Structure 1
Amino acid sequence: MCTVYEFWLSYNNNAERLQLPVNPSELSIGNGSQNETHSISRLGEITILQDPTLKTFDFSSFFPLFYAPFCSYKNIPKPWEAVQTIERWKKSGKPIRFIVTKTPINYAVSIEDFPYRENEDVGTIYFDLSLKEYPFINVRTITQSKNGKKAEVSKKAQRQNPKPATPKTYKVKQGQSLWIIAQKYLGSGARFKEIANLNGIKAPYIIHPNQTLKMPEKKG
């Protein structure tokens, strides 16, 4: 079955990857805010704008025991092996990456909840997955000398993956698009046309696994 979108989960900078064998019928994305509303005498109601909350992603699907025409690809994982993989990622306390190809969805996320079950279809595992956007932050630390007179302020990176160096060429991996490659290596998916122009790729910008692409320089 040829599907328009591919749902991917990856762990440890793509050291481990899992494509969902059956695309969810619905993807719920939460993108709220923490705005506060107050009533002030003689002024009426005012709203204090706050930073937006982190995005959330919720969907349901299943790991079938056997391949069927509704699957996104043929070599589907064994249901319990796929479940154990996601559980292991969740217990690690580290973020994973959630990607939906041909969309702007490409986020580092934490696995918030992963309930699963067997129904009457023995061997097939049904699951719900709740993900939350994972922010990478820098924390300032203060180091004080032994005599207590001098203090040195430094920045220590926490929960931050190193930015990958821009390669001169790049070999396309399964499930990737020009937008995803530009987002990962150039810092912005909007630069996908630079890669396309450099390699003579025209709309609809189709690329294939193991294809070698020339890469533009990363800005900034």
Structure 2
Amino acid sequence: MEEYGFFLSFNNESEAMRLPVNPEKLEINASGDGKSYNIVDLGEINSIQPNKLREITIESFFPGQRYPFVVGNTLYTPYHYVEMIQKWMEKKRPLRFVFSGLNVPESSLDEKIKLNTQIGDIESERFRSNEAFMAINMAVSIEKFDWSIVAGDSGDIQFKLSLKEYVFYQALKLKFKEAKTEVKKKRADTKEASSTYTVVAGDSLWKIAKKKLGDGSRYREIQKLNKIPDSELRKLSIGKVIKLPQKEAAK
């Protein structure tokens, strides 16, 4: 005969359970994530993308008594199963879902296979042999868990469990290098800025050079800088603004 089992384990199989009543069906939703595009002169094309995570839906019940169809040697109270699943959901960590089948003679089933609450106990020597096959073994997250008590069910708890495939990943630490901004310092201008002087009554270039530059003989520099003709040297226009050279004569 064939013995099927539905198992959930948590924290590397330190906690585990076998569903005491096998569901009538196991619903698995697997779909791709392709995208369609319309191309000129070609029409619609499909870009194949990696598949979406698989989703599993299980509907069954936790029995309040040992019915003939209950599987496994150990049966807990219905609330024990409910509390265990709720506790796993609160941990916010992935679980391991296993759906497996065993091909063994009916006479030796009880002797050869011990189905307990630990996956390690579930998998006996015969389970690991070629007489066993494993249909599904994957990490999952519990997305939804609905349960209810129905009158007249002798304490049974009906439930619907929605699982989603979980892919282990590790966040990478990114190191950011601070951009070094070089501030170019502007070279100080050692060149003295030129100054100006406004001519007043009685001024001559020689007087201006003597007063502003400390040397009257430098009047020629002022004349040359301001392009003053010789004809205007004797009589400068009052109010005329003239440029003055640097106080130190250029060597």
Q: Structure 2 unaligned segments of length 5 or more: list them.
A: 101-132, 181-251
Q: Normalising by structure 2, report the TM-score.
A: 0.55
Matched residue, 1:57? 56
Matched residue, 1:72? 71
Matched residue, 1:17? 16
Q: Shift of the alpha carbon at 1:3?
A: 5.4
Matched residue, 1:109? 140
Q: Shift of the alpha carbon at 1:65?
A: 0.5
Between the aligned partners of 2:140 and 2:29, the Cα distance in structure 1 is 13
Q: Shift of the alpha carbon at 1:92?
A: 1.0
1:48-68, CA deviations, whole angstroms, 9 ceiling, x for partnerless residues?
Answer: 111100011111010001111
2:156 corresponds, among 124, 138, 143, to 124
Matched residue, 1:27? 26
Show structure 1 runs of 4+ deviating over 3 A.
none
Matched residue, 2:92? 93
Name the aligned partner's letter for residue 169 of structure 2: I
Please identify which structure carries the higher helix content.
2
Partner SS, residue 82 of structure 1: helix
Between the aligned partners of 2:83 and 2:171, the Cα distance in structure 1 is 33
Q: Which segment is superposed worse, 101-110 or 49-58?
A: 101-110
Name the aligned partner's letter for residue 15 of structure 1: S
Partner SS, residue 175 of structure 2: strand
- Higher RCO structure (Cα 8 Å, ≥6 apart): 2
Taking only the aligned residue pairs, the percentage that are identical comes to 37
Q: Normalising by structure 1, report the TM-score.
A: 0.63
Quick check: which has more Rg, 1 or 2? 2
Q: Structure 1 unaligned segments of length 5 or more: list them.
A: 151-220
Closer, same or farther in 2 for the Cα pair 1:18/1:58, shift >3 Å?
same
Between the aligned partners of 1:51 and 1:74, the Cα distance in structure 2 is 41
1:129-157, CA deviations, whole angstroms, 9 ceiling, x for partnerless residues?
Answer: 11000011132212357xx479xxxxxxx
Note if 1:142 corresponds to 2:142.
no
Matched residue, 2:42? 43
Q: Shift of the alpha carbon at 1:74?
A: 3.6
CA RMSD of aligned residues (A): 1.8
Q: Shift of the alpha carbon at 1:122?
A: 4.0
Matched residue, 1:208? none
Between the aligned partners of 1:115 and 1:6, the Cα distance in structure 2 is 21
Name the aligned partner's letter for residue 34 of structure 1: D
Q: How does 1:201-216 map to 2 (within 5 A)?
A: none
